[in-house]
Amino acid sequence: MTLEKMNNLREELEKGPMLGFGIMWPQVGMIERIGPDWDWFWIDGQHGELDYSDVLAAVRASNLVRRPAVVRVPGHEPGPIGKMLDTACEAVMVPMVETAEEARALVRAAKFPPLGSRSYGGRRPVDLFGRSYSHADRPQPMLVCQIETVEGARNAPSIAAVDGVDALFFGPDDMAMRMGMPMDQPRPKGCFDKEWESVARAAAKAGKFCGGVFTTPDVLRQAVAMGYRLIVASADSALVPASSKEKSQALRSCLAEAGQVKGPKEPGPAGTY
């Protein structure tokens, strides 16, 4: 028995902005638990701690809660891109896309002939959708190109114009680093306004979608007004530590008031993320 089709991310984006949640830790039970709160899941196979088995499990969990899964791959190599597409995810996101030439190479890796040269035979797509999963009349995974350098932003119009590129995604961290901003300090208000607008304008002109990381109400309103739709609004690596700290500090304060402890403990030697 086969499924009719995968979650159609493209159709959902046509309806309006979608709020996504990032998964960087290999704890896919979180997707099952909080799935109804979000519109899609961003599964980070680049900087997250997920190997192939973890990514596959995360895509399956996303299927279970009926939310599209977008897998960020580590780089531009065709092999890993094809392997991640064979998880039956709804899209792959590729980092550090700076030129139209790179985008065309990614289309060859991510799309079936005649547009590209993606290899046929993914075990999970065949199991779920049947051997016709590659047919042009079936919903196909989207290719999302990350624009996260000054050169990439400058070339956004030509990247978006490449046939087979479905969306541009603004990446703030690498852009900030390349603009000389310290990674451990708040960024100046409006520092990316020009780049956000240029990426959104390039996507709109080419009839493509655009996305980015927008985690506060004010910035989200600004992004949606520009036309951004594929939005990462939070992630496990942000939400869990913040909630943990808030809860532990509140309860330690309660103990301190009772004279049981002096107060919140100092952080240990682990990282600050």
pLDDT in 10s for each residue of the chain, 273 residues: 345 556 689 999 999 999 999 999 999 999 999 999 999 999 999 999 999 999 999 999 999 999 999 999 999 999 999 999 999 999 999 999 999 999 999 999 999 999 999 999 999 999 999 999 999 999 999 999 999 999 999 999 999 999 999 999 999 888 888 888 888 888 888 788 888 999 999 999 999 999 999 999 999 999 999 999 999 999 999 999 999 999 999 999 999 988 876 555 566 555 544
Cα separation, 50 vs 59, in Å, equals 12
Tokens 């114009």 belong to residue: 161
Is 184 a member of any domain? yes
Q: Are 179 and 191 in contact (CB under 8 A)?
A: yes
pLDDT of residue 268: 59
Cα separation, 203 vs 261, in Å, equals 55
Is 4 a member of any domain? no
Q: At what angle do helices 100-110 and 78-85 cross, to 10 degrees?
A: 50
pLDDT of residue 1: 35
pTM, two decimal places: 0.91
Instruction: Choose the catalytic residue: 47, 205, 245, 247.
Output: 47
Q: How many structural domains compose the chain?
A: 1
The enclosing domain of 203 has a CATH number of 3.20.20.60
Is 268 a member of any domain? no
Is 37 a member of any domain? yes
pLDDT of residue 54: 98
pLDDT of residue 78: 97
The torsion of the CA quartet 42, 44, 47, 48, rounded to 10 degrees, works out to: 110
Is 144 a member of any domain? yes
Is 147 a member of any domain? yes
Tell me, yes or no, if 135 is annotated catalytic: no
Domain that holds residue 91: 9-235
Is 195 a member of any domain? yes
pLDDT of residue 261: 63
pLDDT of residue 182: 85
Residue type, 58: A
